[in-house]
């Protein structure tokens, strides 16, 4: 792969490609339901603090490692220190776990687009519509297979650039729409203001270790960190682009979209449930239950719903492409298989691994792994276990083996590294200790050993 390593043409090219990978279902679907579930304002605050400290530190480290070595994750760790090759390998497992269940949800998004486009708005606004849909066997599998097949076709033909262009146009429109829906909900619906308060005002009595565990996992997930993706992107980055500035931009952009998505969904949940707290804990279905109800009250709701879901589809597609591309390129590097064979293998594997996540809501709903459904389990295994492990070892590696100086030098290739002090303290002391605590508590609580 290194032989055909291309460069991003300019700063905007890098920022947009990284943002295309970062902004996706994590922002629009996952962030709002976690914020609703784990305490509203206090979750938001925790997330923001973590983003400007942890997120910033890790992203800088990953991009710098990539640009320094000009290699993707496994090769990069190997080149820097052979003993740490396993971190690259561990990181490479994460996209393999995420991609299949990501495609299951991508399939739900397509189904909702099709539903609104065919004018079934009223039916979709019914509270039981979503659970009936995912509770059936065939349809969700059909949409999941379609989503993963589209991803594979794009990766196979190498036309990511085309999708990137489309998402570049779609992204600003999507943001404008989210803002419009948020304003519509807040201004026209009774009870929505209570939701705004719940979302914005930190209530410290809602705080628990789980708030931090969830916010941390979400941070890695949303910013595509701790799995080697940013290392790969960094390896394509030219030397005359500021790593520090680009990192800040990607972070703000990603966090901004997530923030607005929460502002759109949480007040709507309050308005429709009459402030019933149980409605906040709905989990993965939140977006699919609440938004159709909003669209149903709007004039031309079917059109707005269809346009909204097709844009979410494109945001999801640009992320799933980056997931699949990572897996395919590792496979090509390691096995010398060609792109076509690699794509087919990844497609087949993702289909197989995604099935349990889809069936977990229907035929296999009685099967539980440590008390979780398949989709939740995969989500937990990647976000709350593997990613903190990879992040922890990355911090130890950069902090004590490679030394922060190496990263700082890479960042300073073009200008001063303003947050150098923050970076050094975070990567050596704060991040490793914190990650260790988080990791231990999330594992212990999953096995029911402690309650957090
Ligand atoms: N960051 C993407 C999102 O928020 C998901 C993703 C995770 C993409 C990991 C690539 C790698 O939806």
8 Å CB contact between 309 and 109: yes
**Residue 172, class by beta-carbon neighbours within 10 Å (0-12 exposed, 13-18 middle, 19+ buried)?**
exposed
Q: Is 229 in the pocket of ligand 1 (CB under 6 A)?
A: yes
Calpha distance 200→446 (Å, rounded): 29
Rounded to the nearest angstrom, the distance between the alpha carbon of 318 and the centre of ligand 1 is: 9
Write the DSSP symbol of residue 364.
T
List helix spans (H) across 189-242.
192-200, 209-222, 229-235
> Which of the 8 DSSP states describes residue 8?
-
Sequence-separated (6 or more) residues with CB below 8 Å from residue 85: 74, 77, 78
Residue 390 CB-half CA count within 13 A = 35
Cα 16 from Cα 208, distance rounded (Å): 35
- The per-residue pLDDT for range 47-91, each reduced to its tens digit, is 999 999 999 999 999 999 999 998 888 889 999 999 999 999 999
C-alpha 299 to ligand 1 mean position (Å) = 33
Which domains, ranges and CATH numbers included, belong to the chain? 11-446 (1.10.4160)
Q: Which residue CA neighbors atom 11 of ligand 1 most closely?
A: 224
Best of 222, 382, 387 for a ligand 1 pocket test (most atoms within 8 Å of beta carbon): 222
Question: CA Rg, the chain, in Å?
Answer: 21
How many angstroms separate the alpha carbon of residue 191 from the centre of ligand 1? 33
Strand partners for 385: none
Gap from CA of 205 to ligand 1 centroid (Å): 31
Which H or E run contains 264? Answer: helix 243-273
Cα–ligand 1 centroid distance for 321 (angstroms): 10
| Ligand 1 in reach of 26 Cβ (< 6 A) | yes
Q: How many CB atoms lie within 10 A of CB 367?
A: 12
pLDDT at position 2 is 41
319 CB within 6 A, ligand 1: yes
Provide the pLDDT for residue 414.
Answer: 85
Name the one residue in this structure whose structure tokens are 């304002």: 41
The reply to whether ligand 1 has any atom less than 6 angstroms from the CB of 57 is no
Both structure tokens of 5: 């390593």
Ligand 1 atom with least separation from CA of 29: 12
Q: How confident is the prediction along the chain (452 residues), in pLDDT tens digits per residue?
A: 444 555 665 556 777 778 888 999 999 999 999 999 998 999 999 999 999 999 999 999 999 999 999 888 888 999 999 999 999 999 999 999 999 999 999 999 999 999 999 999 999 999 899 999 999 999 999 999 999 999 999 998 877 776 777 777 888 888 999 999 999 999 999 999 999 999 999 999 989 888 998 899 899 999 999 988 899 889 888 888 899 999 999 999 999 999 999 999 999 999 988 877 788 888 888 999 999 999 999 999 999 999 999 999 999 998 999 899 888 888 888 888 998 999 999 999 999 999 999 999 998 999 898 889 899 999 989 988 899 999 999 999 999 999 999 999 999 998 899 999 999 999 999 999 989 988 888 888 878 887 76
pLDDT, tens only, 355-407: 999 999 998 999 898 889 899 999 989 988 899 999 999 999 999 999 999 99
Determine whether the shortest distance from the Cβ of 378 to ligand 1 is under 6 A.
no
Return the pLDDT at 112. 97
Q: Does residue 383's CB lie within 6 angstroms of at least one atom of ligand 1?
A: no
374 Cα: distance to centroid of ligand 1 (angstroms): 19
For 101, the enclosing helix (H) or strand (E) is helix 85-117
Distinct helix (H) and strand (E) counts, the chain: 23, 0
Alpha-carbon distance 162 to 78, whole Å?
33
Contacts of 417 (CB under 8 A, 6+ apart): 244, 408, 411, 423
Retrieve residue 344's tokens: 């087919």
Measured in Å, residue 148 CA sits from the centre of ligand 1 at 15
| Size of the chain in residues | 452
Whole-number pLDDT of residue 78: 93
Residue 311 structure tokens: 């844009």
Please name the residues in contact with 88: beta carbons below 8 A apart, sequence gap of 6 or more. Answer: 73, 74, 75, 76, 77, 78, 228
């Amino acid at each position: 792969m290194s032989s055909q390593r291309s460069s991003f043409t300019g700063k905007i090219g890098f920022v947009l490609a990284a943002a295309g990978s970062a902004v996706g279902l994590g922002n629009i679907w996952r962030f709002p339901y976690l914020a609703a579930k784990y305490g509203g304002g206090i979750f938001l605050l925790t997330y923001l603090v973590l983003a400007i400290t942890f997120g910033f530190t890790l992203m800088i480290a990953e991009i710098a490692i990539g640009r320094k070595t000009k290699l993707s994750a496994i090769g990069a760790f190997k080149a820097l220190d052979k003993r740490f090759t396993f971190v690259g390998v561990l990181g490479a497992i994460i996209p393999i776990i995420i991609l299949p269940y990501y495609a299951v949800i991508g399939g739900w998004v397509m189904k909702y687009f099709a539903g609104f486009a065919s004018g079934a708005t009223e039916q979709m606004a019914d509270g039981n519509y979503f659970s009936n849909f995912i509770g059936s066997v065939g349809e969700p599998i059909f949409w999941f297979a379609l989503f993963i097949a589209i991803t594979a076709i794009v990766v196979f033909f190498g036309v990511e650039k085309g999708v990137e262009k489309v998402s570049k146009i779609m992204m600003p429109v999507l943001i404008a729409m989210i803002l419009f829906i948020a304003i519509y909900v807040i201004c026209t619906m009774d009870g929505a203001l209570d939701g705004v308060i719940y979302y914005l005002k930190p209530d410290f009595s809602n705080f628990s270790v789980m708030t931090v565990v969830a916010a941390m996992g979400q941070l890695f997930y949303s910013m595509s960190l701790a799995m080697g993706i940013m290392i790969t992107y960094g390896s394509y980055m030219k030397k005359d682009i500021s790593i520090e500035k680009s990192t800040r931009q990607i972070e703000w952009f990603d966090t901004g979209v997530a923030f607005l998505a929460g502002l759109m969904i949480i007040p709507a949940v309050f308005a429709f449930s009459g402030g019933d707290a149980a409605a906040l804990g709905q989990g993965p279905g939140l977006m699919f239950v609440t938004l159709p109800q909003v669209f149903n009250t709007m004039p031309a709701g079917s059109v707005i719903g269809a346009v909204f879901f097709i844009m979410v589809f494109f945001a999801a597609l640009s992320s799933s492409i980056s997931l699949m591309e990572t897996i395919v390129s590792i496979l090509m590097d390691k096995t010398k298989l060609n792109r076509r064979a690699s794509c087919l293998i990844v497609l087949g594997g993702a289909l197989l691994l995604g099935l349990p996540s889809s069936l977990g809501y229907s035929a296999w709903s009685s099967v539980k792994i440590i008390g979780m459904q398949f989709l939740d389990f995969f989500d937990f295994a990647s976000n709350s276990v593997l990613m903190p492990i990879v992040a922890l070892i990355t911090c130890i590696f950069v902090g004590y083996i490679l030394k922060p100086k190496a990263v700082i030098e890479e960042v300073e290739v073009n200008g001063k590294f303003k947050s150098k002090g923050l970076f050094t303290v975070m990567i050596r002391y704060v991040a490793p200790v914190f990650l260790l605590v988080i990791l231990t508590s999330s594992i212990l609580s999953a096995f029911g050993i402690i309650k957090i």
